[in-house]
Amino acid sequence: MESRDKIAIAECPLFSGINQEEMEDLLKWISPGVETYDIGSLLRFQGDEYNSLLILLEGEVSAEIQDYSGRTVKIENLKAPDAIASGILFAEDNTLPVTLVAQKPIRLISLKREDILSLAQKNRTFLQNYFSDSGNKVAFLAEKIRLFKFNTLREKFAGYLLNLSGKQNSDRVKLPYSREKLAELFGVARPSLSRTCSELADEGLVDLHGKTVTILDKKGLKAIINPL
Amino acid sequence: MESRDKIAIAECPLFSGINQEEMEDLLKWISPGVETYDIGSLLRFQGDEYNSLLILLEGEVSAEIQDYSGRTVKIENLKAPDAIASGILFAEDNTLPVTLVAQKPIRLISLKREDILSLAQKNRTFLQNYFSDSGNKVAFLAEKIRLFKFNTLREKFAGYLLNLSGKQNSDRVKLPYSREKLAELFGVARPSLSRTCSELADEGLVDLHGKTVTILDKKGLKAIINPL
């Protein structure tokens, strides 16, 4: 494995908290295959069996699905150093739900399922990271489903903030996701989310600073989701 | 641990494929707490921190959420010997998304997060089972989200069958879920699903036998989701 790849893989959330020495030791036990792709390449297809975990070392891919009318819908963007579909790898139905398209030149490694099991048994931190990665996906998708009951983006965002405020027991809410990830959660493009953020701020309902949102008018937010 | 509990826990999917001898050895390393509840008891609340995995040994719980209007909505039923929220346990936001209500007298064990990590490091089968349990949840929720694009249950079911048929590369489709789980996937009550199944069969579009569905009229199914 080239040293630039070793540096890149150490940045992946799955290896977070593992020091260089442990890392060297772990990498001895596995034989990751490095793959490279040009922009526009299709890395894997929707419906492919997913038997090796892909970890992006460089670049960015989009995850797309094709619906029955043949229309292509972009689901999310995945960036280095993310692992791709860590949950699906071990699902009984381990077919990829998306097609992966290179948005930038890609360098990735692929780790066999058996190697993942070996790494997890050897290293407790890796094990915990893997559980977290998959668990975070469950939490994200479950939240996305809860938000489907709201019709508009305004309602989704208001409902989401009120829920977080309840959870964090504060009117000063810390957003757990980046703006990009939030847009994906709400199923909208980023500019739409920015517009809604500005609207709510202009109306004096919230104050936004990076990942911190201060709820200024809780009654007003509640009125968005329960207009009666 | 009582011997009836040892028998019950061995039935849990997380311990599938682990023989009695290995099981005895594994159970030595953990100190599971057994809890019992009467019908109607609230086991855990939506928003509670989830730090120990609950495994149902006896009984059935419903997972419910309370929305902003104060209305309670049932999300799913969980039955012994299922593990509850195996993914959420390790998510960064490990708050329970649901309230758990005993629908039958409950006997359960609770396993600390650290004990789960120890079991997974000691036993490769348990590790793989845990990854699968969490991965299956990801696959289920992702499928549920894909189905949201369809408006009616007829459309959902037709779209789902066509998708499975494509995946399994056959007009004879094997359903991966029980009827109850399918109803949950489509977000409907079981009787509604049964009605739709009967309708599609009466119209000569499909033939249903247990978990096997034979698609008799693919064009007809496609017309349901693309009526143009």
| pLDDT the model gives residue A163 | 87
Using omega within 30 degrees of 0 as the cis cutoff, is the peptide bond preceding A81 cis?
yes
Q: pLDDT band for position A69 (50/70/90)?
A: low
Q: Which stretch, B63-67, B116-120, B222-226, has highest mean pLDDT?
A: B116-120
- Residues in chain A within 8 Å Cβ distance of B138: 87-88, 91, 134, 137-138, 141
Any CB–CB contact under 8 A between A89 and chain B? yes
On the question of pLDDT at B68 being above 70, the answer is no
B177-193 pLDDT, tens per residue? 999 899 999 989 899 99
Nearest chain A Cα to B176, which residue? A93
Q: Which residue has the tokens 């048929």?
A: B165
- DSSP per residue, B102-135: ESS-EEEEEEEHHHHHHHHHH-HHHHHHHHHHHH
Residues of A whose CB is below 8 A from B144: 145
Report CB contact under 8 Å: A131, B134: yes
How would you class B96 by CB atoms within 10 Å of its CB: exposed for 0-12, middle for 13-18, buried for 19 or more? buried
**Interchain pair B90, A128: CB under 8 A:** yes
Task: State pTM to two decimals.
Answer: 0.91
* Average pLDDT value over all residues in chain A: 92
Taking the CA of residue B219 and the nearest CA in chain A, the distance in Å comes to 12
In this predicted structure, the answer to whether residue B76 has a pLDDT above a threshold of 80 is: yes
- Answer for the pair B162, B228: CB distance below 8 angstroms, yes or no: no
Stretch 94-123 of chain A: residues touching chain B, C-beta under 8 Å: 94-95, 97, 117, 120-121
pLDDT class for B146, splitting at 50, 70, 90?
A: confident
Does residue B53 carry a pLDDT above 70?
Answer: yes
To 10 degrees, the CA torsion angle through A72, A74, A79, A82?
-90
d(CA B161, CA B178): 14
Using pLDDT thresholds of 50, 70 and 90, give the confidence band for residue B87: very high
Looking at residue A1, what is its pLDDT? 80
Task: Tell me the percentage of chain A whose pLDDT exceeds 70.
Answer: 98
Q: Residue A168 gets which letter from DSSP?
A: H
3-state secondary structure at position A38: coil
CB contact under 8 Å between A139 and B93, yes or no, is yes
Angle at the Cα of A220 (from A219 to A222), degrees rounded to 5? 65
pLDDT for res A226: 81
pLDDT over 90 percentage in chain B:
71
B69 pLDDT band, cuts 50/70/90, is: low
Segment 58-87 of chain A within 8 Å of chain B by CB: 65, 67-69, 87
Closest chain B residue to A155, measured at CA: B68
Among left, alpha and beta (phi > 0; psi -120 to 50; other), residue B29 is alpha
Contact residues on chain B for A87, CB-CB shorter than 8 A = 87, 134-135, 137-139
Mutate to test the interface with A, among B48, B134, B221 (most CBs of A within 10 A): B134
Q: What are phi and psi of A51, to 5 degrees?
A: -115, -10
**pLDDT value of residue A40:** 96
* Average pLDDT for chain B: 92
**Which residues is A37 bridged to in the sheet?**
A106
| For range B209-213, the mean pLDDT | 93
Share of chain A above pLDDT 90, in %: 71
CB B131, CB A130: distance < 8 Å:
yes
Cβ distance of A121 and B117 shorter than 8 Å: no
> What percentage of chain A's residues is helix, strand, coil (to nearest 5)?
45, 25, 30
pLDDT digits (tens, 9 = 90+) for A8-50: 999 999 999 999 899 988 988 777 789 999 999 999 998 899 9
Say yes or no to pLDDT of A228 above 70: no
Give me the DSSP letters along B57-95: EESEEEEEEE-TTS-EEEEEEEETTPEE-TTGGGSSS-B
How many CB atoms are closer than 10 A to CB A164?
18
In percent, the amount of chain B with pLDDT more than 70 equals 98
Mean pLDDT for A157-170 is 90
Between A203 and A166, the more confident residue is A203
In order of A6, A113, B66, B79, the CA distances from A91 in angstroms are: 28, 11, 30, 20
| pLDDT at A207 (0 to 100) | 96
Res. A166 pLDDT band, cuts 50 70 90: confident
Chain B residues with CB under 8 Å of A65 CB are 146
Q: Any chain B CB within 8 A of the CB of A135?
A: yes
Count other Cβ atoms within 10 Å, centred on residue B28: 8
Residue A76: its pLDDT value, please? Answer: 85
b/e per residue A34-58 (b: at least 16 CB within 10 A): eeebeeeeebbebeeebebbbbbbb
Question: What is the reported pLDDT for A227?
Answer: 72
Task: Give CA–CA dist A3/A5, Å, rounded.
Answer: 5
Q: Give the sheet arrangement for strand A33-37, strand by strand.
A: A33-37, A106-112, A52-58, A83-84
**Of B87, B93, B225, which is closest to A68 when you measure between CB atoms?**
B225
Residues B195 and B124: their CA atoms lie apart, in Å, by 43
Taking only the tens place, the pLDDT of each residue in B98-108 is 899 999 999 99
Average pLDDT over residues B39-61: 95
- Give the pLDDT band of residue B228 (cuts 50, 70, 90): low
Q: B62-77 burial string, b = 16+ CB within 10 Å, else e?
A: bbbbeeeeeeeeebee
The stretch B106-123 carries a mean pLDDT of 95
Report the candidate in B73, B75, B102, B103 with the shortest Cα–Cα distance to residue B88: B75
Task: Determine the distance in angstroms separating the CA of A199 from the nearest CA of chain B, rounded to an integer.
Answer: 22
